[in-house]
Amino acid sequence: ALMDATYLTALRTGAGAGAATELLARPDSSIAAIIGSGTQAKTQLLALCEARPITEARIHSPNAQHVSRFIAEMQPQVKAKLTHASSPRDAIINADIVCAATTSTTPVFDGRDLKPGAHVNGVGAYTLQMKEIDNETIRRAKKVFVDSRETTVAEAGDVMDAIQNNVITENDLIEIGAVAAGQYANRADGDITFFKSCGIAVQDVAAGGEVLRRAREMKLGIEVTL
């Protein structure tokens, strides 16, 4: 099957971060902050609202018009109240969950502003030259939960910068599958947790397989002979 994976990639990335949020964020998390206003940010919002009882989501992006369009499109899709945060700090102060979904090469918020017990998802910084999460966030989290240690070391600029600056070591990278399997102790209420999403091929295969199954059920698509 051949399909356009742009939306599927955003969808499966959101689902992966949503699963990590389900495993790592405090159960009573209700305030979310999203840094970014693109396609990835949209699926992150949907995933967070599924994983936790979000009542308010603050959206920040350098382009205010992008935020306005984001809120206009996404507000009808979620029960949480969406608001425009004028700065990263305004977005993340007292937020229970913070999600960064950007293409930035410099940190998009100050880790000192995170409240104790916050959970952070980083879904941008997919090359070694990119860095949206600062070393202070990673220092406070102590551990980095990842979808794949191998991919993280090869691609995650923010995590590798922290390793190179001795903030953490590669031994502090914990695959989220180990958490799902019950191999990692539950967090304390005041712990800051950080999930770094790089994406793994099995997510694409699973998403593509489900799309193909539903397309066949709905008799969609075109069969071709190669």
DSSP symbols for 9-21: HHHHHHHHHHHHH
**Identity of the residue numbered 157:** G
Confidence category of residue 204, pLDDT binned at 50, 70, 90: low
Residue 103: count of CB within 10 angstroms of its CB: 13
pLDDT of amino acid 186: 72
pLDDT of residue 108 exceeding 90, the answer is: yes
Q: Provide the domain count of the chain.
A: 1
**181 assigned to some structural domain:** yes
Nearest-angstrom CA–CA distance, 13 and 86 = 26
**224 assigned to some structural domain:** no
What's the CATH number where 197 sits? 3.40.50.720
**Residue 175 belongs to what domain range?**
6-217
Q: How many CA atoms lie within 13 A of 96 on its CB side?
A: 21
| Whether 93 contacts 109, CB under 8 Å | no
**91 assigned to some structural domain:** yes
> What is the value of pTM for the model shown?
0.89
Q: 3-state DSSP call for residue 34?
A: strand
pLDDT of amino acid 175: 95
**176 assigned to some structural domain:** yes
